[in-house]
Amino acid sequence: METESRSGDSQRIGVRAAVRADEDAILALARRFSETRPAWRSAEEVDEGEMRVLRRVLAQPASHEAIFVAERDGVEGFVYVYAEPDFFTGEPHAHISEIAVARDGSGAGRALMAMAERWATDRGHRYVSLHVNAANERAARFYATLGYDLEWQRLNKRLSDVT
């Protein structure tokens, strides 16, 4: 499954399935998630969780998940998408777990979102979900331009450490 799109600077961005050789580039981009983390999570906690999951999927993806990369002169971004059941109906849908781009406005994010939606459509999913950190207003605006609507606000409370 490959696709191409044109960005604002008229250069083609290709999107393809990630391979193990993309790991370093993907993990470097994933470090961006700790920049907009909730105040109660440490950067190390976020980074370690991201690295653990992405390495596992790159090494041995399950049939219900995929990582795609956007590239021009190298990896410009990635998206990790998987199928999960809807809480209320049990119907499977696609969930975009992670998406990161090297440069805002490059067209990579839009191309990756289109690929994740195509992946979902090809599997017969009727909708796609994603989470966005409350502090990441830029990303929330981007998703809104693509037609994503707020369904839930997830609240967390950090309890004292259990020993």
Q: Which position has the token pair 């599997």? A: 123
Helix (H) or strand (E) segment spanning residue 146:
none
Please name the amino acid found at residue 80.
Answer: Y
Q: Is residue 151 part of a domain?
A: no
Q: Is residue 106 part of a domain?
A: yes
Q: Is residue 32 part of a domain?
A: yes
User: 118 lies in which domain range?
Assistant: 3-145
Q: Is residue 21 part of a domain?
A: yes
Q: Is residue 126 part of a domain?
A: yes
The DSSP line for 33-98 is GGGG--TTS-HHHHHHHHHHHHHHHHHS--TTEEEEEEESSSEEEEEEEEEEE-TTT--EEEEEEE
Q: Report the pLDDT value the prediction gives residue 38, as an integer from 0 to 100.
A: 79
Q: Is residue 150 part of a domain?
A: no
Arithmetic mean of pLDDT over the chain: 90
CB 120 within 8 A of CB 93: yes
Domain count of the chain? 1
Where residue 132 sits, what CATH number does that domain have? 3.40.630.30
Q: Is residue 158 part of a domain?
A: no
pLDDT digits (tens, 9 = 90+) for 97-145: 999 999 989 999 999 999 999 999 999 999 999 999 888 889 999 999 9
Work out the number of other CB atoms within 10 angstroms of the CB of residue 122. Answer: 10
